A and B are shown apart, each in its own frame.
Chain A
């Protein structure tokens, strides 16, 4: 099976072709540097993304406060994480770096606040 990717390691954006057999990467072509090869392999075996969104605040200056995942989460778990985050409400005051959800879905990353809200 062949899969086409665009490398995001640098602004060049090389079009990469990856050949996969039985879930294993057999060859990577189209990349112009080593980083492209590494990106393509990670992208096929375990694609991850950092997640940023917002969470509801009780008694806040604003109705929501922005949050991010403390590290990348598997790409296919993003919507599960969103569901979890949208079910939570935090209480003002909130500070940058406050942990909103610890070890979300057992993925080993926390959801932390990225802005402060001193409350009403």
Chain B
């Protein structure tokens, strides 16, 4: 059994930021366990720029953003195991992992940070008719093929889903010589950032079809084409609108799912909307000493916010390790009227520092107000020019606001049109 103060599961931006923050707070023995061959996580294959505008004040590519943290980790005495798969976390915080060199390893930790990230929703989760030919893959898989492995998975491409990864891959495949025929989006709006629609689709004349989906794939060994169709308000295909498009590749960018298998095994309670753990403002789960941050907690659109969140978790873990974590009285937060979820789900009303509640809305709003209230009293109300499901928002809660609350209070965030 190896003894550590802190075991961090995952060496992407979340895991590295949490480990570094804990180190800065004085935690001595820290280890990062990473499944891939290098630190950096998904940033390693996100070679486009746009990372770091908030955190570093410059526009970096994914590997550059990750590189800055890898460099910092290397300067510390934080232990790193790459090519290492964590198999289990016990409820006494024993982390079991395996790799080729050391075989099976067990780490006894005082605190654990979950930073496993998320994975893409696969084809199996969609009900598309057709057999299983080669050429159908998630946008992230194609991104790895092109940007890490250096080969093109196809020549004529249809993309289903207009999230940012789908849009970025439309541009990437086009630059490398493929013909991207269309991007289909089930919803009446795109889930991606406007700037990506302009720079990745409009720039290359790639059409974006809203309220449209793929209903059938054609081809047996290799994809030969897809049938797309318009959908109605209930997102059901409208008969008669089917259209055949010849293609050899279908990329899916249809959502991300936090990877919480390890969390579930140890009994961490998950939020039904985020699919990530229920946490308090220190990012501690309901399982004592187990913290969570990054895309395993909630899917982010900006890595800068992942870093910010992970530093909170790193600080929380350090306080826990030093026995400094405050007890206090915890109350719930709740999103209603268009606010789909809130992270953190629990707030300490005896907390002495201001904190941010992060949330996402369920549809596009223009000129609507974000209202925070508790026990029928409005704590803040702010008008927003635009709110969209693709962009994470936050509201600030100050210690003054918490003063008049009691154990039965509930902080509510809602949209008022």
For A68, the chain B residues whose CB sits under 8 A away are 47, 49, 61
Contact A62 B150 (CB under 8 A): yes
Q: Is the CB of B194 within 8 A of A13?
A: yes
- Taking CB atoms and an 8 Å cut-off, the chain B residues in 162-181 that contact chain A are 172, 175-176
Q: Are A62 and B194 in contact (CB under 8 A)?
A: no
A-B contact pairs, 22 of them (CB 8 A): A5-B198, A6-B197, A6-B202, A11-B193, A13-B195, A50-B49, A50-B59, A52-B47, A52-B48, A54-B150, A63-B149, A63-B150, A63-B151, A64-B147, A64-B149, A64-B150, A66-B147, A75-B203, A79-B175, A96-B64, A115-B44, A115-B61
Chain A residues near B67: list those with CB within 8 A.
96, 115-116
Q: Smallest distance from the beta carbon of B56 to chain A beta carbons, Å? A: 14
Which residues does chain B contribute within 8 Å of A50, judged by CB atoms?
49, 59
A-B complex: 9 closest residue pairs judged by Cβ atoms: A13-B194, A63-B150, A115-B63, A66-B47, A64-B150, A8-B195, A114-B61, A52-B48, A8-B198
Q: Which residues of chain A in 69-105 are interfacial with respect to chain B, using CB atoms and an 8 Å cutoff?
A: 75, 78-79, 82, 96
For residue B395, CB closer than 8 A to chain A, the reply is: no
Number of CB contacts from chain A to chain B under 8 A: 76
Residues on A close to B: CB < 8 A?
5-6, 8, 11-13, 49-54, 56, 62-64, 66, 68, 75, 78-79, 82, 96, 114-116
| Shortest beta-carbon distance from A59 to chain B in Å | 14
Query: If the complex has contacts A8-B194, A11-B194, A49-B199, are A114 and B63 also in contact, measured as CB distance less than 8 A?
Result: yes
> Chain B residues in contact with chain A, CB under 8 A?
44, 47-49, 59-61, 63-64, 67, 146-151, 172, 175-176, 193-195, 197-199, 202-203, 385-386, 388, 391
Please report the C-alpha to C-alpha distance between residue A62 and residue B148 in the assembled complex, in whole angstroms. Answer: 6
The smallest beta-carbon distance between A72 and chain B, in angstroms, is 10
Which chain A residues lie closer than 8 Å to B48 at the CB level? 52
Nearest residue, chain B, Cβ from A60: B150
Which residues of the other chain, B, contact A75 by a CB distance below 8 angstroms?
Answer: 203
Q: Complex formed: what's the CA distance from A11 to B195 in Å?
A: 7
- How far is A8 from B150 in the complex, measured between Cα atoms in Å? 30
CB within 8 A of A64: which of B49, B148, B195, B202? B148
Contact A12 B49, beta carbon cutoff 8 Å: no
* Shortest distance between the CB of B405 and any CB in chain A (Å): 32
Q: Which of B61, B148, B385 contacts A52 (CB 8 A)?
A: B61
Docked-complex contact A12 and B386, CB < 8 angstroms: yes
B149 nearest CB neighbor, chain A only: A63
Residue in contact with A82 in the complex, picked from B44, B47, B60, B176, CB distance below 8 Å: B176
Question: B203 and A54: CB pair below 8 A?
Answer: no
Q: How distant is the Cα of A63 from the Cα of B149 in the complex, in angstroms? A: 6
Residues of B contacting A8 with CB < 8 Å?
A: 194-195, 198-199
| A45 to B113 alpha-carbon distance, docked (Å) | 51
Residues in B with CB closer than 8 Å to A53 are 47, 172, 175-176
Shortest distance between the CB of A76 and any CB in chain B (Å): 10
- Determine the chain A residues whose CB is within 8 A of the CB of B61 once the complex forms: 52, 66, 68, 114-115
Contact at B149–A82, with CB atoms within 8 Å?
no
Q: Which of B44, B59, B195, B202 is the most central at the interface, judged by chain A CB atoms within 10 Å of its CB?
A: B195
Identity of the chain B residue whose Cβ is nearest the Cβ of A96 in the assembled complex: B67
Task: State in angstroms the CA–CA spacing of A8 and B147 once bound together.
Answer: 26
How many angstroms from the CA of A50 to the CA of B200 in the assembled complex?
A: 12
CA of A12 to CA of B387 in the docked complex: distance in angstroms? 9
Q: Which residues of A contact B151 (CB under 8 A)?
A: 63
Chain B positions within 8 Å of A114 at CB level: 47, 60-61, 63-64
Cβ contact within 8 Å between B175 and A78: yes
Residues of B within 8 A of A64 (CB): 147-150
